[in-house]
Amino acid sequence: MKKFLEDFKKFALRGNVLDMAVGVIIGGAFTGIVTALTANFINPLLSMIMTGTPGVDANGVAWTAGAAVSAFLTTVINFIITAFVLFCLIRGMNKLMSIGKKPAAPAAPTTKKCPYCCSEIPIEATRCGHCTSELK
């Protein structure tokens, strides 16, 4: 059972799985914005054009700009809050994931300086390519 949980943790915390989950959640929140825009502005406008009665939709319900803007702004604020919470969660998870990791060891040098002309040469070189001095 312990091996199963370790494998699941490796799978769930991989970068592409988290990216996909965030994308799905943000996509759902953005769908709410599009739905609110359609329901509060586009549908009443089309209904008024079709019925010819300004300020009343096809169902006879009065449409007010204040209520429509208020409902739309509420949806936008919900989207912003959702995005902020996801940002904080992912940032916290990244910090937790980096706690147990050791910093990477510095790479071995691949060049050295010529003691005669101070130019950079490959570490395996026995003769300087710039001043042709023989190296020890």
Which segments of the chain are extended strands (E)? 111-113, 120-122
pLDDT tens readout for residues 100-129: 777 778 888 889 999 889 899 998 888 898
Q: Over 90: is that where the pLDDT of 8 sits?
A: no
Residues 59-113: tens digit of each pLDDT? 666 778 888 899 999 999 999 999 999 999 989 888 887 787 777 788 888 899 9
Give the whole-angstrom CA distance, residue 113 versus residue 128. 9
Q: Which amino acid appears at position 49 of this protein?
A: I
pTM: 0.62
Delimit the domains of the chain by residue range: 2-99, 107-136
Largest Cα–Cα separation, the chain:
97
Give residue 8's Cα distance to chain centre.
23
